[in-house]
């Protein structure tokens, strides 16, 4: 038809070059990334046909703009354009919404009603969140796409429609097909021409442009000066993951525009508005249960050695406190620990019982205290420590290997292997 050729004179020159800037200006599209330009080119090129288009991309990337481009640059631009959010319509009424119903077909059907497919005849219908359609509705939609025919709810009369279908989803449809949630034949029928919209994190060069556009819009809306980013703040925004994509960026820009008094925004200010759980490259944190789980016996031994070193430090602190205050009462257990720390011949240590529970230290010759780290030589061999711990565990549980293994935090099989390897008598 001549009208189809005429409408492209303004956007495509005789060399086949498309005026992308005019299209972006008309639909208020911000960005210069190659992926964005490619999506616009495909949308305009497919507009001249009646092919079904499937637009995919994460939530908040702006998928709803591309069906409008396709409709406006098609021969149907004078027909109706109806956008339907399939995820927002209850499953029990979606067939009625899309295909209409007859009077009395169900409770509340007080009169005949046209559905969106009948209303959009000779126009375009945009089915957003197509992945949320019930399976029964998917069967009806497939028939419309293949034959252009449908039946109202409660009717037996076939109705013809000439409508162009554009669908969009943020769902992984091949995965939904594997899970039995989406029909494979419908997917291939919708996916005649695919258009993929990149997430904002893959369009980092567009982030600052979008921020400035939103800042100007909100400054005009709320009658205040626009906010500006310093260099560090700009870099921070470009490196952020943006799980909510353009929608999240717009929301944060509005928050900052209203809340911050200073119009010059630093990276520290930006950081307060970015959800911490979405920051990329965070180190993995262990849960409480994972912190106490060890992958092998060697890690258990390391932990025991570190605990022993901590105990030695605490004991030394206890002795120094006693040296500073000779009247400090100590329990019988503490006295025994001190005897093991120091040689009784060099330390004039003569405790006197004060009660059944505590003793008193009358004198301590501080000049004769020897450094225990120099006198006592302790084996640091992991093998020796393993043997010692296994023997102690077996003695504690009277040779019962099951309970000894539980005490050591290892499996019975590992304990049996260690006993055989070290030739431990149990």
Using pLDDT thresholds of 50, 70 and 90, give the confidence band for residue 28.
very high
What's the average model confidence in pLDDT over 195-205?
96
Assigned domain for 350 exists: yes
More confident residue, 308 or 242: 242
Looking at the structure, do residues 63 and 11 belong to the same domain, yes or no?
A: yes
223 and 300 assigned to the same domain: no
- Of all residues in the chain, the percent with pLDDT exceeding 70 is 75
**423: number of Cβ within 10 Å:** 7
- Same domain, residue pair 257 and 298: no
**Residues 13, 133: one domain?**
yes
Looking at the structure of the chain, the number of domains it has is: 4
Answer yes or no: do 158 and 15 share one domain.
Answer: yes
Q: Any residues with CB less than 8 A from the CB of 391 and at least 6 apart, and which? A: 424
Question: Could you tell me if residue 108 is inside a domain?
Answer: yes
Tell which residue, 145, 146, 186, has the closest CA to residue 169: 186
In this structure, the answer to whether residues 194 and 205 fall within a common structural domain is no
Choose between 334 and 395: higher pLDDT: 395
Residue 150 domain flag: yes
Which is more confidently placed, 321 or 408?
A: 408
CATH number of the domain that residue 404 is part of: 1.10.10
Q: Are residues 110 and 234 in the same domain?
A: no
pLDDT of residue 388: 85
Does residue 361 form part of some domain?
A: yes
For 90, the token pair is 């209850």
Confidence of residue 8 (pLDDT cuts 50, 70, 90): very low
Using CA atoms, how far residue 123 sits from 4, 118, 163, 295, in Å, is 15, 10, 5, 64
When pLDDT is cut at 50, 70 and 90, the band that residue 7 belongs to is very low
* Structure confidence at residue 113 (pLDDT): 92
Q: Residue 203's pLDDT is what?
A: 95
User: Where is average pLDDT lowest: 9-18, 177-186, 190-199, 403-412?
Assistant: 9-18
User: Which pLDDT value is given to residue 333?
Assistant: 60
Mean pLDDT across 90-94? 91
Residue 410: band (very low, low, confident or very high) from pLDDT cuts 50, 70, 90: confident
Decide the pairing of beta strands 158-160 and 149-151: antiparallel
**Which among 60, 70, 142, 47 is positioned nearest to 99, based on CA atoms?**
142
Domain region containing 326? 294-375
- pLDDT of amino acid 378: 57
Q: Are residues 120 and 67 in the same domain?
A: yes
CA atoms of 63 and 131, how far apart (whole Å)? 14
Q: What is the pLDDT of residue 355?
A: 42
For residue 113, being part of any structural domain is answered with: yes
Q: Which CATH number covers residue 125? A: 3.40.50.300
Pairing label, strands 53-56, 124-128: unpaired
* Residue 338 included in any domain: yes
Query: Is the distance from CB of 360 to CB of 354 less than 8 angstroms?
Result: yes
Residue 166 has pLDDT above 60, yes or no: yes
More confident residue, 16 or 23: 23
Same domain flag for 362 and 347:
yes
Q: Mark whether 95 and 187 lie in a shared domain.
A: yes
- Residue 360 is predicted with a pLDDT of 47
One domain, residues 116 and 214: no
Report which of 335, 414, 418, 349 is spatially closest to residue 383, judged by C-alpha positions: 418
The residue out of 278, 310, 332 marking a domain boundary is: 278
Give the model's confidence band at 29: pLDDT under 50 very low, under 70 low, under 90 confident, else very high: very high
pLDDT tens-digit map of 146-163: 999 999 999 999 999 999
Q: Are 200 and 61 in contact (CB under 8 A)?
A: yes
Per-position b or e across 258-288, b if 16+ CB within 10 A of its CB: eeeeeeebeeebbeeebeeeeeeeeeeeeee
59/168 Cα distance (integer angstroms):
10
Domain end (from 219, 251, 278): 278
Pairing assessment for the beta strands 352-353 and 358-360 based on DSSP bridges:
antiparallel
Residue 208 domain flag:
yes
In the predicted structure, residue 332 carries a pLDDT above the cut 70: no
* Residue range 95-124, pLDDT digits in tens: 999 999 999 888 888 899 999 999 999 999
- Dihedrals φ, ψ of 184, to 5°? -70, -40
- Please tell me the total number of residues recorded for the chain in this structure: 426
Per-residue pLDDT tens for 354-384? 444 444 444 545 455 454 444 445 566 778 8
More confident position, 301 or 85? 85
Chosen domain end from 180, 198, 216: 198
Tell me, what CATH number does 239's domain have? 1.10.8.60
Work out the average pLDDT over 405-410. Answer: 84
* pLDDT at position 276: 74
Asked if residue 14 and residue 126 are part of one domain, the reply reads: yes
Please indicate, yes or no, if residue 405 is contained in any of the structural domains: yes
């Amino acid at each position: 038809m001549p009208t189809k050729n005429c409408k492209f004179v303004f956007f495509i020159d005789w060399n086949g070059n498309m005026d992308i800037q005019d299209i972006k200006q008309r639909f208020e599209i911000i960005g210069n990334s190659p992926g964005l330009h490619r999506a616009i080119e495909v949308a305009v090129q497919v507009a001249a046909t009646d092919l079904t288009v499937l637009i995919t991309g994460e939530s908040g990337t702006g998928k709803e703009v591309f069906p409008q481009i396709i409709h406006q640059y098609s021969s149907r631009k004078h027909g109706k354009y109806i956008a339907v959010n399939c995820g927002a319509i209850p499953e029990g009424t979606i067939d009625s919404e899309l295909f209409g119903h007859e009077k009395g077909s169900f409770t509340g059907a007080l009169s005949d009603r046209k559905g969106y497919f009948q209303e959009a005849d000779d126009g375009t219908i945009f089915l957003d969140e197509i992945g949320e359609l019930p399976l029964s509705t998917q069967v009806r939609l497939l028939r419309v796409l293949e034959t252009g025919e449908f039946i109202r709810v409660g009717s037996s009369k076939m109705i013809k429609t000439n409508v162009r279908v554009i669908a969009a989803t943020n769902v992984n449809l091949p995965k939904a097909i594997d899970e039995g949630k989406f029909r494979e034949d419908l997917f291939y029928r919708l996916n005649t021409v695919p258009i993929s919209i990149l997430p904002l994190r893959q369009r980092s060069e567009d982030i600052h442009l979008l921020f400035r556009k939103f800042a100007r819009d909100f400054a005009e809306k709320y009658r205040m000066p626009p906010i500006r980013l310093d260099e560090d703040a700009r870099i921070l925004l470009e490196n952020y993951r943006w799980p909510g994509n353009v929608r999240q960026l717009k929301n944060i820009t509005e928050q900052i525009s209203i809340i911050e008094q200073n119009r010059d925004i630093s990276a520290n200010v930006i950081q307060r508005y970015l959800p911490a759980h979405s920051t990329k490259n965070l180190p993995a944190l262990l849960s409480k249960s994972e912190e106490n789980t060890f992958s092998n016996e060697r890690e258990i031994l390391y932990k025991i050695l570190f605990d022993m070193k901590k105990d030695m430090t605490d004991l030394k602190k206890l002795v120094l406190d006693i040296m500073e205050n000779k009247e400090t009462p100590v329990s019988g257990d503490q006295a025994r620990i001190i005897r093991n720390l120091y040689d009784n011949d060099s330390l004039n240590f003569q405790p006197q019982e004060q009660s059944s529970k505590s003793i008193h230290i009358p004198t301590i010759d501080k000049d004769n205290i020897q450094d225990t780290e120099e006198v006592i030589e302790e084996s640091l061999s992991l093998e020796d420590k393993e043997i010692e711990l296994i023997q102690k565990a077996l003695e504690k549980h009277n040779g019962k290997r099951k309970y000894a293994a539980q005490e050591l935090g290892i499996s019975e099989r590992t304990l049996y292997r260690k006993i055989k390897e070290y030739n431990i008598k149990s």
